[in-house]
Every structure is written in C-alpha cells, then in structure tokens.
Copies of this chain bind each other. A is one copy, B any other.
Amino acid sequence: MRGICYTFRMRYSKLFGKTIKEAPSDEVAVNAKLLLRGGFIDKLMAGSYTLLHLGRKVEQKIERIIREEMNSTGAQEILMPLLHSKEIWNETGRWDSAREVMYQFKKNDKEYALSFTHEEIVMDLIRKHVSSYKDFPVKIYHFSTKFRDEKRAKSGILRGREFLMKDLYSAHVSKEDMMKYYSQIIEAYKKAFKRMGLDAILTEAGGGVFTKNTTHEFQVIADSGEDEIIYCPGGDFSANAEISPVKEGKQCDLGHGPLKKAKTIEVGNIFPLGTYYSEKMNAMFTDQDGKKKPIWLASYGIGLTRAVGAIVEIHHDDKGIIWPKEVAPYDCHLIEIQNSKFKSFGDGVYEQLKKARVEVLLDDRDDVSVGAKFADADLIGIPVRLVVSAKTGDKIEWKERSKKATELLTIDEIIKKLL
C-alpha cells in the first residue's frame, strides 16, 4: 500500500480501553460520557484527554478526509513547532492581547508561549521564503496540537485546553486573489464536513483575537452547542447571534419564512485576515510593478478533536454512538456467539474480511454474554454489526446501527456492501 497505513483489524479481547458502565460523575457533556464509556478516550485532567485506540482511529479518519480535501485545493502539508518565543508574538502585540488564553512561561531567562494558533509563526515562515509576486499563492497547512487556557472546560472534547487542529494559511498578492481561494476553501470545508456526517452551516461571525474583519464559522446545530446562530431555514443566511444584524422571527427576504435561532457547535472557522499581520510583521513582496507591498493572509481552522465530539453529539441514541461511515473506527463489528463450531466459522469470516481489507473489530471474548456484546456494539457505534451464530448457519447476520432490521448475507455479499 502507498500512503500512511493504520490498523485494519482488532480483536476486542486484546483492545486496551474497553467499554465501561458509567462515565465519571464529573463529566456532563454527552460526547465525553459516550466517548469515555465506549473506550474512545481517557481523561488526564480537566480539558485534556488521551485518545485511546478507537478514538485515535476516528481522529485519523477525520484527518484523512481533511488532508484529501486540503490537498485537492493545492495546499501543501507542513508541520510547525508548538513552542514559540515571546519576540515573535510581540511583533503583532498578541503576547499581551491574547495573554488570557495563551500559556506563557519563562525558562532560563527566555520567555516562551505554547501554540494557541499559528498566524505569527506562519507569517514569519512565509516572509523568509517569498520575495516576488511569482512566489504566490502560498497554501500551507498542518495538523498539530493547540493549547488554550479555557476558563470552563466542561464540554468534553468540544472545548479542550489541549486539542488537535488542522490549520491552513494562504498568502496572496491581492485581496481578490485571497477571496478567490477563500471561496474555494468554503467549498472544500463543506465537502469535508459532509463526509464527516456534519451538516455545517456557513455563518458570519466576528474575529475574536484574530481579526476585526467579518469572518465565517461552520456551525452545526446541536442542543449542547455553546454558540447560537440566527439563520434562514432556506439556507441563504446565517450569522452568529453575537453579531447578527437581525433577530429570530424576522421574515427572510427571499421568502423562506421567519428566521430561526438555534444552539450550535462551531466546527470550523475561516478568517480573511488581509494585510494586518504582514504590516505588523513587515512581510512584503515585490509586485509586478517593482513596488514592495504587504502580503494578504487568510487562515482556516478545523478542530479535529472537536469534530469527533460534535459527531457524537449529533449521531447518538440512548444506546450509544452511531458513527457515520467515513469516520467510523472500523467498517464493521463482528460478533461471535460462543460455540466452538461457529467460533471457527467466525474466525474464518474475520480472516476473509481482513484479506478483503475491510476494517473489522472482532468481539472474540468468551467470558461475556451475548446481550453484553450487543450492548457494547451499540455503545461503540460501528455502523455495521455482523453476527455469526448457530442460528445464522453458513450465512452472516447483517444489521446497521441506525436501523432495526437484520438480514442474512453471504460473506461475498458483505464484502461487496462494505467496500
């Protein structure tokens, strides 16, 4: 195989991080409760979680979707450091203005900050590597850790003090060129969120500590969301309630009826930063007319761990998680119902699925009841459950997590449906 591989199969008996009956009582968010109970994450401290094997796999699937969509816009993957010097943050004044959210410290007389974002770092990188208009556009992104000292860290992995993020930065010679790529990223983000199973609404928003310009957020409607949007049900308007010029109930100008208000989770944000950073940091290029001009910068973020949490907030029922296909930790959850004959048949099915490169989690435990296995499968939420038992004969029972019906299929039919 060409590309970065990961694990294609797992025997549940060997998995580190099994399901647990009750989430710790200090967890209030649905995402954290279900992810902890399902064995996807473990809490190290408030706002900080370990991704266990299943959680890491979901995150890797999201990473893959984002990587594909970013690469398709011509963006290039890099990796920038997490530890930064005070000097670089002082160039824009954010050492002081973002002090509340940044972890800052001194060691051996040198002052450092941990990455809460990377505009200053990427601007420094770009100003060292470009000089002429011919060197543009620049489109670079990375997957990396961000640190933000959040006052309230009560939303599970929706709002961590430490979390994974994809951040893309684009640099251009003009506003026009910047906005053209900005529009291209809007489309790429829509595709990426759709593949993750998220109906993200493009929403106008303020820029926080990033910019005074109007920016855009991708918001997903969820009762547990910390944000609020005013939006048209016809899809032609959405603004963060904080900056919305209109109120709930006003009639949509295009005749889609009254505007609605909803709680939402922000899963992505994009900032047309303009020349603010380049002017502060003296990041210039020589244009066709021989003149020095400031670089136009935009930045685009997607929280990976937050996306995991948002997916769970939206795709679950009272039994557990229901992963959308493309982000499920495994394609199918194969359950053997104990009986030496069917165990060996089950192992054969497992081998055939492996061979076909179907990603399979096999519940091979022999000290657990059938009922408990089914409950665990519902909690973990892999989209397809397969059962091999005396009842299924030489066929396999197929059940989708989101449906009630079961059907008996041959191994060939199953492989065909899963690939």
A interface, CB within 8 angstroms of B: 1-8, 10, 14-18, 42, 44-45, 48-53, 55-57, 59-60, 63-64, 67-68, 71, 74, 76-85, 103-108, 112, 114, 121, 124-125, 128-129, 138-140, 142, 145, 147, 149, 161-162, 164, 357, 359
Contact = CB atoms under 8 A, between A and B. Distances in A.
Main secondary structure of the interface of A (DSSP, over half): mixed
A162 B16 contact: no
Contact of A77 (B56, B79, B114): B56
Given A5-B4, A16-B138, A78-B53, A84 B149 contact: no
A124 B43 CA distance: 10
A385 B79 CA distance: 27
A396 B129 CA distance: 33
9 contacts: A1-B3, A4-B64, A5-B68, A5-B71, A16-B139, A17-B78, A42-B129, A103-B105, A108-B149
Contact of A48 (B6, B8, B83): B83
Contacts of A7: 71, 76-77
Contact of A103 (B10, B51, B107): B107
Contact of A50 (B14, B44, B80): B80
Contact of A80 (B44, B112, B161, B357): B44
Contacts of A71: 5-7
Nearest to A106: B105
B359 A83 contact: no
A45 B5 contact: no
Given A3-B3, A44-B84, A45-B85, A125 B50 contact: yes
Contacts of A57: 77
A56 B81 contact: no
A74 B14 contact: yes
Given A77-B53, A121-B44, A60 B16 contact: no
By Cβ-Cβ distance, the 5 closest A-B pairs, closest first, are A105-B105, A4-B4, A51-B79, A53-B76, A3-B5
Contact of A147 (B18, B49, B83, B103): B83
Contact of A5 (B44, B53, B64, B142): B64
